[in-house]
């Protein structure tokens, strides 16, 4: 299934959290925090301003981004958890 976000929305797949600590202790699912980092899968066409002009998004597919803890709406696409967020909720782009 293909999902194309509308307007200024972004489809993001969260990065996987490490399940062990450095000392080898396994962290149970109930104690894990949701990761605040993810990779952009798809982006919308941009935000339309009141005067009718279309402003392109700053992020693109493949970017690694940071977002807020409670940002967006969680969905499942082909059995994989994703999140749809607005560009305003993106805190930053991670560059290597």
Task: Catalogue all structural domains in the chain, each as residue range(s) with its CATH number.
Answer: 9-94 (2.30.33.40)
pLDDT at 51: 93
In this prediction, residue 3 carries a pLDDT of: 85
CA dihedral 36, 39, 44, 48 (to 10 degrees): 50
pLDDT at 31 over 70: no
Measured between alpha carbons, how far is 68 from 2 in angstroms, rounded to an integer? 25
Residue 15 dihedral angles phi and psi, to the nearest 5°: -75, 155
Residue 35 pLDDT exceeds 90: no
Structure-token match 């982006």, residue found: 43
Report pLDDT digits (tens) over 37-84: 999 999 999 999 999 899 999 999 999 999 988 889 999 988 888 999
Distance between alpha carbon 96 and the CA centroid of its chain, in Å? 18
pLDDT of res. 26: 72
Rounded Cα distance, 18 and 1, in Å: 28
């Amino acid at each position: 299934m293909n999902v194309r976000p509308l307007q200024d929305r972004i489809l993001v797949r969260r990065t996987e959290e490490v399940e062990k600590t450095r000392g080898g202790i396994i962290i149970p699912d109930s104690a894990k925090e949701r990761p605040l980092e993810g990779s952009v899968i798809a982006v919308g066409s941009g935000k339309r301003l009141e005067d009718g002009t279309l402003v392109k998004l700053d992020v693109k597919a493949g970017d690694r981004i940071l977002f807020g803890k409670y940002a967006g709406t969680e969905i499942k696409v082909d059995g994989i958890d994703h999140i749809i967020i607005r560009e305003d909720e993106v805190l930053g782009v991670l560059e290597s």
